Amino acid sequence: MARSGSPLVETLVIFAVVFVLQWIAGLFSVGLMAGLFVLAPPLEANPWTIVTSVYAHENLGHLLSNSAALVLFGWPIARATTHLRFHAFFLATGAIAGITQVVGTGFVGVATPVLGASGAVFALMGYLLAGNRLSDGLASRVQVSPWIALGVFVALAALITFATAAPRVALLAHFTGFLLGLVAGRAGVLDVPSHVRRRSA
């Protein structure tokens, strides 16, 4: 059965539609827009924002930067996996990253509301880094314990997170997304057998 399109393009379309809906909601009130699209404590107050916040963006610059990063890091992954796996991975990692940002910052001070796809985009970046053939080859030659590998992943995620730090950036969400991507890439959770790829191509 032929594919109807790329999950990458579908995600970009979702970004654009959600951005328009944010703008329309904002015409009525900022509170309405936030209640529909911003993940904020308490999480149970507006549980749908666990999903909608992943695809929402603060402004046009935020939308364009995340879209460019999505294309850069998501394109190779989208070509190598199925629609369902790509969308499920993107949403799950983005939601977990957002929840971690809100809950984690709440533990150390005032919980920070969050919106944007950067947690999911960082997960794609991590997946691409840990799940490629070169990484697989290195891993097969260098045998280390799972705990050491996890420690290396945590250190790498922290390094990448702080290297991309900027004001008003959800660092904890970036760290979480990148770490999830590294672990998922090493486990090959988006890998599909070649005969499945051929049938769905």
Q: Smallest Cα–Cα separation from 50: which of 37, 32, 33, 34? A: 37
Rounded Cα–Cα distance for residues 16 and 26 (Å): 15
pLDDT of residue 169: 73
Q: Angle between the 7-28 and 83-108 helix axes, to the nearest 10 degrees?
A: 50
Q: Is the dihedral of CA 21, 27, 28, 29 positive or negative?
A: positive
pLDDT of residue 141: 54
Q: Is the dihedral of CA 91, 93, 94, 100 positive or negative?
A: positive
pLDDT of residue 171: 83
Could you report the per-residue pLDDT of 41-97, keeping only the tens digit for each? Answer: 999 999 999 999 999 999 999 999 999 999 999 999 999 899 999 999 999 999 999
Rounded Cα–Cα distance for residues 104 and 186 (Å): 25
Percent of the chain at pLDDT above 70? 75
pLDDT of residue 69: 93
Place of tokens 């997946």: 127
- The residues pairing with 114 across neighbouring beta strands, listed in sequence order, are 39
User: Is 2 within the bounds of a domain?
Assistant: no
**CA–CA–CA angle 73, 101, 128 (5° rounding):** 20
Specify the CATH number for the domain of residue 120.
1.20.1540.10
User: Is 88 within the bounds of a domain?
Assistant: yes
Position 18 confidence tier, pLDDT thresholds 50, 70, 90: very high
User: Is 35 within the bounds of a domain?
Assistant: yes
User: Is 135 within the bounds of a domain?
Assistant: yes
> Is 198 a residue whose pLDDT tops 50?
no
pTM of the model as a whole: 0.84
For 7-16, 54-63, 121-130, which range has the lowest pLDDT when averaged over its residues?
Answer: 121-130
Q: Which residues constitute the domain of residue 113?
A: 7-198
SS3 114: strand
User: Is 142 within the bounds of a domain?
Assistant: yes
Q: Is 182 exposed, middle or buried (0-12, 13-18, 19+ CB in 10 A)?
A: buried
User: Is 164 within the bounds of a domain?
Assistant: yes
User: Is 148 within the bounds of a domain?
Assistant: yes
pLDDT of residue 73: 92
Q: What's the average model confidence in pLDDT over 166-171?
A: 69
pLDDT of residue 62: 93
Position 172 confidence tier, pLDDT thresholds 50, 70, 90: confident
User: Is 104 within the bounds of a domain?
Assistant: yes
Tell me how many domains the chain contains.
Answer: 1
Percent of the chain at pLDDT above 90? 61
> What are the respective helix, strand and coil percentages of the chain, to the nearest 5?
75, 0, 25
Could you report the per-residue pLDDT of 134-155, keeping only the tens digit for each? Answer: 455 444 555 655 655 556 556 6
Chain mean pLDDT for the chain: 84
